Amino acid sequence: MMRLAIVAAILALLGVTLPSTSVGTAGTTGTAGTAVTAVKPSPSAAPSIYDPGNTGTVASAWVKHLGLTDPRDSGDVDRYGLLLSKNTSTSTNSAAQADIKNVAGMHLTELGYDIRNGGHCGAGSPRFNLVTNDNIFHFVGGCSTATITPNTPDPGWSRVRIDLATFVFPALTSTETIKSLQVLSDEGVDTGPDFSGLSVIDNIDINGFFIGAPAGAN
């Protein structure tokens, strides 16, 4: 502080005036009277697994060249897809999943994803697990009970959109917002119609925002 005061005094003698500064509303420094607004991080999906018994039967990962072109990046050549695999029976207490980040406080209005044809699309997987701000757990989906549009956005894929008024258990209220949200697959190789226990999804849709790659990939 002493050095800064000396520098300011010297500059004042030379007729140079330093601009005053203040702390903006987001905790950053800006010119006096100017509020600086922090940029809120975009929603993202972080792969994880639930496997308390260490069965080694589930896997979740963003994999290059397994998915669609990222709609927010026209030059995307990585084409990430989110792989969700449960290589065991459905009754095994395990799940492949991804934690949806930066969505706390949102009121949910739209939810879904694109799914690659040939994988598992069952009544319970892939689906969403939602905990709302009142600490109530909601089962959301899954795939085969949703509205499915084939060959969208590309051949070999289907667009899945969940009816939030019908397929959320218990039903959402108008005051509930997101506390935590996951997309997951916990139906295994003994559940049809495909008996694969494996799904590849992309363009995870959170209120119209598409998550099509791992955070920081684009």
List per-residue pLDDT tens for the chain, 218 residues long. Answer: 444 444 444 445 445 444 433 333 333 344 455 555 567 789 999 999 999 999 999 999 999 999 999 988 889 999 999 999 999 999 999 999 999 999 999 999 999 999 999 999 999 999 999 999 999 999 999 999 999 999 999 999 999 999 999 999 999 999 999 999 999 999 999 999 999 999 999 999 999 999 999 998 86
Handedness of CA 44, 50, 56, 58 (dihedral sign): negative
Strands 111-116 and 198-206: antiparallel
**60 within domain boundaries:** yes
**148 within domain boundaries:** yes
> Do residue 99 and residue 162 come from a single domain?
yes
Owning domain of residue 11 = 2-31
> Do residue 148 and residue 205 come from a single domain?
yes
**38 within domain boundaries:** no
Query: What pTM, to 2 d.p., does this model score?
Result: 0.82
Can you tell me which residue has the tokens 């695999």? 85
CB crowding 105-139: b at 16 or more within 10 Å, else e: eeebeebbbbbbeebbbbebbbbbbbebeeeeebe
**143 within domain boundaries:** yes
> Do residue 12 and residue 108 come from a single domain?
no
